[in-house]
Amino acid sequence: MEEENKLGERKSFSIVIKDAFSELGETFVAFFNAPKALWGINIPYILEGLVYFGILTILGKYASENIALADSQSSLIYSAVTGGITFSMLLLGGFSDKIGIRKSLAIAFFSMLVGRILVALSGTLPLANGLWSPMFFTMIAGLLLMVTAYGLYQPAAYAGVKRYTTPKTAAMGYAVIYGFMNLGAFLSGFISSFTRQSFEDTFPPNGLTAVFWIYVGITLIALLSSLFLLTKKNDEAAVKRIKEETEELSNGKTEGDEETIVQPRVNNLPIIFLGVLAGIFFFLSELIGIQEQFIFIYELGFMKLDLFLMLSALTVVTIIYEFLRRRPLHPMRNSHFTFFIFILIPVQTLFAHNWLTLPYYLDRAFAGTYISEYFEVFSNLNPLLIFFLAPIVAGLTPRANVYNMMIYGTFVMAVPTFLLAFGTNEYLLFTYILFMTIGEAMWQPRFLQWISEIAPKGMTGLYMGIGQFPWFLTKVITGFYSGWFLMQYCPIDTLPSDMNTEVMWLIYALIAMVTPITLVLVKGWMTKGFKTKHAE
């Protein structure tokens, strides 16, 4: 591979790589010299990544062993939590734009703190367990607070990165915050493993309650870090500095000169009411545990569709229709934008399986090995790799066409899943995690940057929330079938030799491949309306 320089001379591959890393180093220096306010986003983000992904890693085991739920019921709790987070971002993303980044983060962290205290109390107080038990409802109340808080937290955090970076450091800013979240997730594996094993006798049957209390303390530290670093003084100083640096880069022209698009005021109360109603219908469904004689049930393969479940789905469809009908400036009115974010769902199921399937798989299929004993650590190898790979890939591909990066990245992410279909083997597992992570680093941060950059001024939080809506569907849909697959191919209290995990991963690989194949097939149509500021 060779490349021509400005004088028409050919540059060798080694020179190209050297130049790329030189540019990467300059970008790193510029980013780490960023305003103090940006560190008020980044430091709490590391801590929050640790707690959030740490909870996701052990939530299924806690629900199964402590609350005594079936795998299928535990996976639905995952769907409600992870899907609910994205849905709350859809509803509250625009609200974070109105009240500001600092207030949004403070409210979010305080709400998450209270919610996680309730989750820890569910395993500390002498409460009866089982479905619909006091222990179950205490945990659900805490998770509900955490879910709601994320509707403010994540859109505000990404809006903060946009506010405190220049065009030169923006790509690195999004890659680093994405990497920091994943660094925290990796660290949670060690904290969880050693805490769980050290407090098994204090908090029977498995010490997981002690882990939840550790996460309460870390959330408190994140709240205090945000309050002390992201002060009004630091915010104003950062905005002034970024404006000056941006003017230097663009010869006095900044994005601040653009006209802010003002959206008509819309009453969100009907949509919020319908959202609550959809949640009530969902938890009344037979999938959660209502007795069959009280509701209509229709068998559909491995799923049971009942009256309340269908009412929940119908209510969600109504919410989407009402939401778009009242918003003429909504980006989902754009067919190219809408198709693009929805076609990512198949490959995004692999993200969901990182907590819906992988912890169970490592704990059960590798039973009796070091991988099973420290399953939290190995479940979170992907986040550690992302921490290093995301900024490196961003630095090596700052001018890459976004759509092409979507194709290459989703392909590299999906293909390694076929390796797990060859059998339960540690080397296949580590190879899968490595190459899946490389693919993720290629497309996910760039996708987030693209959404932020196409957003009109004053609507970044709203666009971030909307852009994550397919992620909400991914989490919900994947949760519906992942528990059933576990019970069929990786059941609890079964010898690894009697499992059939190969079939499970083969199916998951075929699902993920839908995304890159479709992106290639529709490239001609998509690129005609594909808007981006940074692709060349």
**Lowest-confidence region among 126-135, 152-161, 222-231, 468-477:** 468-477
State residue 254's pLDDT score.
46
Q: Which residues, other chains included, contact 143 with Cβ-Cβ below 8 Å and sequence gap of 6+?
A: 77, 80, 81, 115, 119
**450-508: pLDDT as tens digits:** 776 666 666 666 676 677 677 777 877 888 788 889 989 998 878 888 899 999 999 99
State residue 209's pLDDT score.
95
State residue 517's pLDDT score.
96
Alpha-carbon span 215 to 52, nearest angstrom:
9
Is the CB of residue 45 less than 8 Å from the CB of residue 150?
no
State residue 293's pLDDT score.
46
Report the candidate in 360, 351, 352 with the shortest Cα–Cα distance to residue 378. Answer: 360
State residue 337's pLDDT score.
74
Q: Which of the four pLDDT bands, split at 50, 70 and 90, describes residue 291?
A: very low
Looking at the predicted structure, is the pLDDT value of residue 292 above 60? no
| % of residues, the chain, pLDDT over 90 | 27
Is the CB of residue 340 less than 8 Å from the CB of residue 332?
no
Looking at the predicted structure, is the pLDDT value of residue 23 above 80? no
Average pLDDT on 404-415 reads 92
Better pLDDT: 494 or 139: 139
Return the HEC string of 64-91: HHHCCCCHHHHHHHHHHHHHHHHHHHHH
Average pLDDT on 263-278 reads 76
Looking at the predicted structure, is the pLDDT value of residue 125 above 90? yes
State residue 4's pLDDT score.
42
Whole-number average pLDDT of the chain: 80
Average pLDDT on 337-351 reads 87
Average pLDDT on 38-62 reads 88
Average pLDDT on 152-173 reads 79
**Lowest-confidence region among 21-25, 210-214, 436-440:** 21-25
Report the candidate in 216, 196, 195 with the shortest Cα–Cα distance to residue 206. Answer: 196
State residue 290's pLDDT score.
47
Report the candidate in 106, 88, 159 with the shortest Cα–Cα distance to residue 459. Answer: 159
| % of residues, the chain, pLDDT over 70 | 77
Q: Which of the four pLDDT bands, split at 50, 70 and 90, describes residue 365?
A: very high
| DSSP class of 295 | S
CA angle 457, 463, 468 (to 5 degrees): 160
Q: Which of the four pLDDT bands, split at 50, 70 and 90, describes residue 109?
A: very high
Better pLDDT: 18 or 67: 67
Better pLDDT: 14 or 211: 211
* Segment of 24-33, 208-217, 253-262 carrying the highest mean pLDDT: 208-217
Looking at the predicted structure, is the pLDDT value of residue 303 above 70? no
Better pLDDT: 156 or 394: 156
Looking at the predicted structure, is the pLDDT value of residue 38 above 50? yes
Residue 414, both tokens: 């999906």
Better pLDDT: 248 or 232: 232
Domains belonging to the chain, first-starting first, are 35-251+327-528 (1.20.1250.20)
Looking at the predicted structure, is the pLDDT value of residue 427 above 90? yes
State residue 40's pLDDT score.
86
Q: Which of the four pLDDT bands, split at 50, 70 and 90, describes residue 266?
A: low
**512-536: pLDDT as tens digits:** 999 999 999 998 887 775 555 444 3
Better pLDDT: 154 or 435: 435
Q: What does residue 10 show for φ and ψ, rounded to 5 degrees?
A: -85, 135
State residue 19's pLDDT score.
57
Q: Which of the four pLDDT bands, split at 50, 70 and 90, describes residue 283?
A: confident
| DSSP class of 261 | P
Looking at the predicted structure, is the pLDDT value of residue 246 above 70? yes
State residue 21's pLDDT score.
61
C-alpha radius of gyration, the chain, whole number: 23
Q: Is the dihedral of CA 209, 215, 216, 217 positive or negative?
A: positive
Q: Give buried/exposed letters for 486-500 (b at 16+ CB in 10 A, else e).
A: bbebbeeeeeeeebe
Average pLDDT on 40-61 reads 88
pTM strictly above 0.75? no
Looking at the predicted structure, is the pLDDT value of residue 49 above 80? yes
Average pLDDT on 312-334 reads 76
Looking at the predicted structure, is the pLDDT value of residue 1 above 60? no
**Lowest-confidence region among 216-225, 283-292, 472-481, 508-517:** 283-292
Looking at the predicted structure, is the pLDDT value of residue 176 above 50? yes
